[in-house]
Amino acid sequence: MSLKRLVPALLVLALSAPVATRAQSPKDSPDVTRATLKNGLRVVLIRNRLAPVVTVEANYMVGGDETPEGFPGTAHALEHMAFRGCTGMTADQTAAIYAQLGGENNADTQQNITQFFATVPAADLDVALEAQAKCMLGVDNTEAEWDKERGAIEQEVSRDLSNPTYKFIARLNEDMFAGTPYAHDPLGTRPSFDKTTGKMLGDFYKAWYVPSNAILIVVGDFEPAAAMAKVKALYETVPDHKVAEHPVINLQPVKPESFTLDSNLPYVLGFISYRLPGTDSPDFAAANILADVLASQRADVYAMVPAGKALAAEFAMEETYPKASVGFGLVAQPAGVDPKPALDELKKILDTYAKNGVPSELVDAAKRAELAQAQFQRNSIPGLATVWSSALAAEGRNSPDEDIDAIRKVTLDDVNRVAKEYLLNAPVITATLVPKPTGETASAKGFGGAESVTQAPTKPVVLPEWAATKLDELKVPSTPLDVSDTTLANGIRLIVRTDRTSPTVTLVGGVKHNADLQTPAGKDGADALLDELYSYGTTSLDRIAYQKALDDIAANASAGYHFSLTSLKENFARGVELLADDELHPALPPQAFAVVQQQTAEFTAGNIQSPGYKFDHALQRALLPANDPQLRDATPETIKSVTLADVKALHDATLRPDLTTIVVIGDITPAEARASIEKYFGAWKATGPKPETDLGPVPVNKASATNVADAEQVQDTVVLAEQLSLNRFSPDYYPLQLGTHVLGGGFYATRLYHDLRQVAGYVYSVDVALSAGKTRASYEVEYGSDPDKVSKARALVERDLKQMATEEVSPAELHQAKALLLRQIPLGESSEEAVAGGLLARAQIGLPLDESVRSAKIYAGLTAAQIKAAFARYVDTGVLVQVVRGPAPQ
């Protein structure tokens, strides 16, 4: 359950009263059906036939703004409690239902809304709707259930307090919105949760969780009339009452402020933050375009990077609330470098734009990009549900089209006026995140001293009849794969899938490459330099001209060993031309090489001293034998030894068409796609024998334990891992993967979540993964916990892993794991991006393109005995590697 979207490392709105039921707004497309039920619940159904998938998103207009004084996490806690049981549905039943629906369910709490969302196969829409409706009827806020959940949510607090960007945003909001509800984060605090009671949560639920204070959004492949009839049958009888007045937001003038925070990032981050218009403001659209202009790679902010003045320079608009938003400029500098000169230059650039105006061509480009993005939003069912939920529930719009209409009307004068009003001579809040040195990694005693745990596996869960009748049946996908798969004359494998969801096309590609095997000795980091240099234009178009050519067609492209293109259908051929030019003929200018080399060396110098790097490095060194190629690492010295000639030679030797796969999906036929690819990539030829790109197999590792100090982490991050003596093509991969879904992937319904979080409250999250490639495989469990709970949590992990190898899983667990995996297969096609990525990954490793359907048949036929045998053969808790990042475990 994510609380909010944070700034990359580097929304109180009282909606108008419900109106009379209507079938469709005048501006709605035929695929949009609306109704307001008798109890006030607003319902919007958006039909989208991208895949046999639906997303159900229930939005309640209550969040951090409405929480009681001194209890900022109340809405967040209630969000958690909805997963511990609702009317007619226990916590175990809730977890089992969502697990068997495919496990794609979650929730988040924002400043003015709380959202519950689930993406499920279209055939299971009725089950997802009924599960959501049960929570509108009531949530189990008993003291007993809250006592169990308190530990987990406090672990979430510890996790976020260990994130430097989270701490920055929390402090920024305190200063930017002092005296208003926006100043406190919906996350909550440990002291407030310690004082919170089940009764308080129940009272909060009764006050705000009513139909007239909610909007139900359903997006996907369904029959609107049948879906609306089901919604009415389930929701219209839910009682309603008037909710309290939402808090009034009285913004006070921003007081200039400057602060510094310690960080565990490998670089210095500097911020200049401004208060910008909120979603209620008529200037909101213009502010969005202004932010896009300032973030353009053709603008002066980003120009600080190629000029060698910053490792990164950006502008972004975040923390978007009804009454205000936050815009900030960001610069990244190497560890140990004072960011003040770069921040001063950034401020000067922003002041100049505000005073003199922004380039009109960048405003036009930003508008084209925003309008094109509106088309791409249709290519993801859960993404489209998020867009509609944000527009209606968070922003108070009638539809996302209102945002698009507002963008269309923005003029250059609008953007310049907003820039002058909100940036020029405006009070700002500056902040610096400074890396704090930490100690070296240290060997530890590892596991020991925890209590003995021998509890039997979870009892079977009896589902309510309305869910059991649908979920008892295992559905094996059998739809044939509808793609074109050809190999061009020069060796490029081209895979095309036609999808008419929107007038757009997406291309993803990859060149099989392994830097550990293909980088010359002593030149580690050469591939990173090449990757950075792709953004500096081509031999025919310099950096600015190349970006302008992309802006002119509202396309996005990136070149390298992994490359991509997104464009409107009408501009696909031109987009491919530009992508091929960059991929095959990068400029690699000497001046840019010198800058990139210096920046990469400086970044690397800070990175190898950071806790994150040391954590990853310690894990790899524990799992792999000495001198394994995968242990090769770039250092400032190896990077400085690389010449431009080395980079050019690496490009020519490793980028080959016969190692390249291109996947195209969208409003395009195979013939149309092939014509463009052949025209612009067809002359690309390979010379010499193919290089080796697959690492050899490795032996099973030995047990070890390592602690990586990280003074900024309140919570420990723990990884338990081991190498397995199999690969992706081993028959035992399938029973191991099925067994892994008994252990995890289905929230409380699966063993590790049930034992470590639901029962013990030791962790907020626990992830288990079987990772298998062409030649190697590993098994990994990761969790976060307080230092005094690390060993206790590990004891439970070990117990559950051992039981998988010594006892057959129950019939109920076996059925649930199969249902989870089988339903995840259609969910993997809920967006064009996911489809394209899956096709590319299977092609590159050498699996059949219809592997998902083939594997479904295998999973359906597996037995509990096969799972037990596979775990006994491969997973050995006696050789687990433990790496802990944070305070030393107690």
Give the pLDDT confidence score for residue 445 in this predicted structure.
Answer: 61
Q: How confident is the model at residue 578 (pLDDT cuts 50, 70, 90)?
A: very high
Q: Place 69 in a pLDDT band, splitting at 50, 70 and 90.
A: very high
Q: Work out whether strand 556-558 and strand 312-318 pair parallel, antiparallel, or are unpaired.
A: unpaired
The helix or strand, by DSSP H or E, that contains position 430, with its residue range, turns out to be: strand 429-435
Token pair recorded at residue 230:
């089901």
User: Mind listing the domains of the chain with CATH numbers?
Assistant: 32-235 (3.30.830.10), 257-435 (3.30.830.10), 442-468+699-885 (3.30.830.10), 484-681 (3.30.830.10)
In which residue are the tokens 């305070």 written? 887
Please give the model's pTM, rounded to 2 decimal places: 0.93
pLDDT at 299: 98
CA angle 284, 288, 294 (to 5 degrees): 140
Instruction: Calculate mean pLDDT across residues 798-817.
Output: 96
Number of C-beta neighbours around residue 768 at 10 A: 24
Distance CA 724, CA 879 (A): 10
pLDDT of 475 reads: 84
The answer to which of 1-5, 144-148, 210-214 has the lowest mean pLDDT is: 1-5
Q: What is the pLDDT of residue 459?
A: 64
The C-alpha atoms of residue 142 and residue 154 are separated, in whole angstroms, by 18
Q: Is the pLDDT of residue 506 over 60?
A: yes
- Angle at which helices 360-376 and 284-295 cross, to 10°: 110
CB 301 within 8 A of CB 315: yes
Give yes or no for residue 255 having a pLDDT over 80.
yes
**Which pLDDT score is estimated for 345?**
98
**pLDDT tens digits, residue range 624-663?**
999 999 999 999 999 999 999 999 999 999 999 999 999 9
Q: HSE (CB half, 13 Å, CA atoms) of 732?
A: 15
Percent of the chain with pLDDT over 70: 95
**pLDDT tens-digit readout, 372-431:** 999 999 999 999 999 999 999 999 999 999 999 999 999 999 999 999 999 999 999 999
pLDDT tens figures, 510-542: 999 999 999 999 999 999 999 999 999 999 999
Which residue type sits at 638?
T
Q: What is the separation of C-alpha 94 from the centre of its chain, rounded to a whole number of angstroms? A: 24
Average pLDDT score over residue span 325-338: 96
- What mean pLDDT is predicted for residues 288-302? 98
| Closest alpha carbon to 773 in 695, 881, 827 | 695
C-alpha distance from residue 73 to each of 66, 133, 187 (Å): 10, 24, 5
Tell me the pLDDT band of 446, cut-offs 50, 70 and 90: low
Q: List pLDDT tens digits, range 21-56.
A: 333 444 678 999 999 999 999 999 999 999 999 999
Bridge partner residues of 86 (DSSP) = 89, 139
Position 28: which residue type?
D
One-character DSSP codes across 350-412: HHHHHHH---HHHHHHHHHHHHHHHHHGGGBHHHHHHHHHIIIIIT--S-THHHHHHHHH--H
The yes-or-no verdict on residue 509 having pLDDT over 80 is: yes
Which residue is it, tokens 């009725």? 126
| pLDDT in the model for residue 488 | 98
Which element (helix H / strand E) includes 133? helix 125-137
Q: Which of 850, 824, 879, 847 is nearest to 733 (CA)?
A: 847
Q: Report helix, strand or coil for 324.
A: strand
Angle at 540 between CA 534 and CA 541, to 5 degrees: 60
Residue 217 contacts residue 227 (beta carbons within 8 Å): no
- The C-alpha atoms of residue 584 and residue 562 are separated, in whole angstroms, by 13
Q: Could you read off the pLDDT of 175-225 as tens digits, one per residue? A: 999 999 999 989 999 999 999 999 999 999 999 999 999 999 999 999 999
Q: What pLDDT, on the 0 to 100 scale, is given for residue 25?
A: 44
Residues 6+ apart with CB under 8 A from 830: 50, 51, 53, 55, 119, 380, 381, 382
701 has pLDDT over 70:
yes
Q: Which range has the worst mean pLDDT, 365-369, 455-459, 525-529, 724-728?
A: 455-459
Closest CA to 127 of 95, 98, 91: 98
Contact by Cβ (8 Å): 106, 115: no
Q: Is the pLDDT of residue 490 over 90?
A: yes
Q: Give the residue with greater pLDDT, 152 vs 512.
A: 512
Q: How far apart are CA 757 and CA 755, in angstroms?
A: 6
3 pLDDT higher than 70: no
Position 495 scores a pLDDT of 98
What was the pLDDT predicted at 439? 64
Structure tokens at 790: 């690390």
What pLDDT is attached to residue 44?
Answer: 98
Residue 54, H or E segment: strand 53-60
Q: Is 696 helix (H, G, I), strand (E, B) or coil?
A: coil
Cβ 169 vs Cβ 316: under 8 Å: no
What is the C-alpha to C-alpha distance for residues 369 and 361, in angstroms, rounded to an integer?
Answer: 12
Return the number of other C-beta atoms located less than 10 Å from residue 248's C-beta. Answer: 10
Contact between 123 and 825 (Cβ < 8 Å): no
Spatial CA neighbour of 132 closest among 59, 40, 223: 59
**In contact, 54 and 249? CB cutoff 8 Å:** no
Which is nearest to 37 in space by CA: 206, 245, 208, 216?
216
Greater model confidence, 732 or 440: 732
pLDDT higher than 70, residue 1: no
272 vs 611: CA distance, rounded Å = 26
Average pLDDT, the chain: 92
458 pLDDT tier (thresholds 50, 70, 90) = low
Q: Quick check: helix, strand or coil at residue 749?
A: helix
